[in-house]
Structures are given as structure tokens and as C-alpha cells.
Chain A
């Protein structure tokens, strides 16, 4: 009798120890075991933004990629981030305004997603600080994805696939709106474009044509008519190898802008008609141009900066009084200079980036 009771106690103890060990083992289950190595050239610099609570991991990036292309995130189950941000077009959609659910047009032109690791304020008007905050905006917008985020959380939780992917990325299988945004942000941080002919030129591995070289010179220089220095002053705002600076300028599209731009966010009248200075990387792929997609091609863009700048109280100082000809009223570029600049801009097209299988729709290969 006594022996039997001892056995019982022993069994109980064994069960307890096993249970505690199991709980401890799952509790210490290492979540962030596979950091994702973000590779980029030194000339991009290291002023990157990764929040401490959302390190970039292989599991997180994979989940983010799945979610980026997940149509279940929209109320109509037809739109994903990838609908308006298509890899072959450097993550734009070729439209003046994108179509959200029920073909409702968005307010502004779809932005290219490249080298976002360095961007701190997102959207044309800089309203979102950080990619995590950015990702939630289209997901919650009634016109873009049908304000479906909270319901999508429940839908994804019920799938076979996603709870496991969330567990791998974040330690537990709970699907939350924060985790969705965090995973998408992780994926977007990996969208690095740094293998264009211009990059090869910077690394001494590509010899530009005469047109490309002249275009580059014109792009980088500011005109000084008195000293006979010709230039288009593009680098004033689009300088540095990243081809943008984090600035919000009124680039003279309209004297009285229909879209107030950054003023809507800040409430300051000196922000009227100000929009983000976009990256020019892959610019040849991302037509139409400007926040309202008004220019069909790069020729129209060059013509705008050359001879159609509209004056206003908030017109960028960088776009005023830069004539190439003494006493000139506008930039004064010749037709050849304009086409040379376009040749240079085409050097920024990165075919590796738009064909990188790591950035493509993972749902296609799962089918």
C-alpha cells in the first residue's frame, strides 16, 4: 500500500517536472534567432531607421512579404499592398491615381518603394513617422483597402497558415494589427535598390556614355551664368547617391494648388503645396509623375522644371533664379541638355531590384 502511494507521488512528480520543463522550453523558445542582414553600399550612409521593438528578422520579413501580397487584408479581398506597388514598376502602378476597393481612386499617385530604410517621414506629405505607422494608413483607409484591418486580423487568425507564421516571427500565434504593420515594415526595409548602372559607375564598374556623363554633370551642377557654368540644379534636392533628400518643397506645379499638400498636416501656410522630394531611383519605371500624376513622361517633367515653374509664396527657393543664361527668366536648358539628363536618369534603373525573387509575390510559389 505504502509502495503504491510512493509510486503515485513519483509519477506525479515526473509529470510535474516534464510539464515545467516543457513550459520552460516553449517559454524560452528563441524568437529572433535569424536576424535579416540588410546589405547596402557604404555610400548610402547609416542613418537608417529600425525601431528597437521591431528588429528585422528572416521570419518577420517572410511574414511581411506574405502580408504585403495578401488580398485578405482588403474588404473586397481583391487589393493588397502589391496592387498599387508592383515590383516590375519599382513598386508603383503606372496609374495617375491608384484604384482602391470598388475602383475608387486614391487622392495621390502611388509612391515607389525603394530604400525606405533611410526614410523617416512617409507619404507625399510626410504624415507618418516610421514604416510601422505608414503601413496602417492604407490598411485603414476606406478608399484604399476598405478599412478592413480589424476584421482582417480575425480572418487571418482563422487561417491554417498565418498563426504559425506569426508565431515564428513574433513568438506567439496571435495575429494583431500592430504585428501586421510590423511585419510589413520589416519586409519593406529589405527593398533596397543599389545595383543600377549608376551604382556600378560609383563603384568604378561602368563607363557611362558621353550623353549620360553630360547629363550627370548637368544634374549635379547649379548654373552660374556669369561664370559660364551650366547646370540644372537637380542635385540641390535630389543629390546624394540615394537620389533624394528628406525635404518637402513646393516645386512650382501651380500658383494656387488644388491639393494643399503638407499644409493639411502642419496647418502652417508656408507648407502650402509642399510635397516630398521623391527618390529618383528607378524613375524611368515610375511614370506618371508628381503627387497628382500629371506628367506622362520624363520629357514633360524636364519641360516643367525648365520652363513652366509657377510662382507662388511658397515656391521652393531652390527653384528660383537659377538661369543658365545671363538675365534668363527660366532654367534655360537646351533640348540636348534635357535629353542628356534623361539619359542619366535612366542610369538609375535597377533591373536586379525589379527582378529580385525575394521581393516577389510568395503566394504564387505556394500555389
Chain B
């Protein structure tokens, strides 16, 4: 009988703690995510913890002063594969007219053709970075940024990325 009481108390505690967690989550600050949408089979909404579970890669790029900076994140190709975008063997024919529009929280936008992101076309690996030197990205840069190695201007290594939108080029 005593045992029964103890297990009941434990159960009630567990129930209360999960409800409190839910309550806390509801009042917490909105979590930053990157949405993958458009011509995708499976739209994604990726948080920092989602990215940590994916196949990761490092990439480096020069900053405005020409110094090499090292970042870690997930290859954009892996994200597109997970979203069911026509990369790899399917990247042919009309699919070669698709592009990825990158949108940032301040409204900044840049595009890449899908072929620029696919290892069957290029050895350059563009990543969606979430950390630099093992630390989260700085305010105004992160929590997510693109790192595009080997470009003379850092303009496409967009800061504060919020959306990766796949579309067909029409006309």
C-alpha cells in the first residue's frame, strides 16, 4: 500500500512538471527557425537543435577585411535533400531552372541556382551555419547564416537567415 502511495506521488509530480514545462514553453520567447518551402515535397522548419542532429560540415569564408573565418553548420544540400527538393539525380531538365531564394529577417534576399548547391555539379560546399569557433553566432549575424566559400564579396553569405524558398524561374 505504501509503495502504491509513493508511485502515485511520483506520477502526480511527473504530470505537474510536464505541465509546467508546457506552460514555460508557451511564455518563452519565440524560437528562431529556418523554414524550407516552395517547390519542396516536405516543408521544413528547422531549429538549432534540428540542425545539431543533421549531417554537419565546416566551411570558411573571408570577412570584409580579408581574414578567413571558420564556421560550422549543415550543408544546404543536406537540408534540400531532407525537404525533398529535386537535387542529385533529379537535378536535370526543367529542374535546372529552379533556384533557392534566401530570405533574412531584415528583408535581405539573395538567390542561388540549385546546381550551385549540388555536389554532383560543384565541390564547393555552402553551409547553413549555426556556430563559429564552437560558439553560437553573434547578434545581427545569427542564429543562422549562410557561409559561401570562395566568393570575392561576402554579400551572398547572408546573415539572420529565416527562409529557404525553392522556386522555378518563370519567363
Contacts and interface: CB of A to CB of B under 8 A. Distances in A.
Given A267-B30, A268-B32, A314 B139 contact: yes
Contacts of B106: 247-249, 274, 316
Contact of A126 (B107, B108, B159): B107
B107 A268 contact: no
A246 B141 contact: no
Contact of A246 (B29, B107, B139, B160): B107
Between A126, A270, A274, A313, the greatest number of chain B beta carbons within 10 A of the residue's beta carbon is seen for A270
Contacts of B107: 121, 126, 245-248
Interface string A222-262: 00000000000000000000000111110000000000000
B140 interface: yes
Interface in B129-171: 139-141, 159-160
A268 B32 CA distance: 8
B140 A268 contact: no
Contacts of A248: 106-107
B139 A270 contact: yes
A58 B108 CA distance: 34
Contacts of A316: 106, 140
Nearest to A222: B64
B45 interface: no
B137 to A, nearest CB: 11
Contacts of B140: 270, 313-317
B108 A247 contact: yes
Nearest to A312: B139
A317 B159 contact: yes
A327 to B, nearest CB: 14
Given A313-B139, A317-B141, A266 B108 contact: no
Interface string A308-329: 0000011111000000000000
Contacts of A247: 106-108
A17 B140 CA distance: 72
Given A316-B140, A317-B140, A266 B105 contact: yes
Interface string B13-54: 000000000000000011010000000000000000000000
A236 to B, nearest CB: 11
Interface in B36-88: none
Contacts of A314: 139-140
A269 B106 CA distance: 12
Contacts of A313: 139-140
A270 B30 contact: no
Nearest to B65: A226
Nearest to B141: A317
A188 interface: no
A271 interface: yes
Nearest to B104: A247
Between B29, B139, B160, the greatest number of chain A beta carbons within 10 A of the residue's beta carbon is seen for B139
B105 A271 contact: yes
Interface in B90-142: 105-108, 139-141
A313 B105 CA distance: 15
Between A126, A268, A269, the greatest number of chain B beta carbons within 10 A of the residue's beta carbon is seen for A268
A-B pairs, top 7 by smallest CB distance, nearest first, are A247-B107, A267-B30, A313-B139, A317-B140, A246-B107, A248-B106, A247-B106
16 contacts: A121-B107, A245-B107, A246-B107, A247-B107, A248-B106, A248-B107, A266-B105, A268-B105, A269-B29, A270-B32, A270-B139, A270-B140, A271-B105, A313-B139, A314-B140, A316-B140
Interface of A: 121, 126, 245-249, 266-271, 274, 313-317
Given A247-B106, A247-B107, 10 more contacts: A126-B107, A247-B108, A249-B106, A266-B105, A268-B30, A268-B32, A270-B140, A313-B140, A316-B140, A317-B141
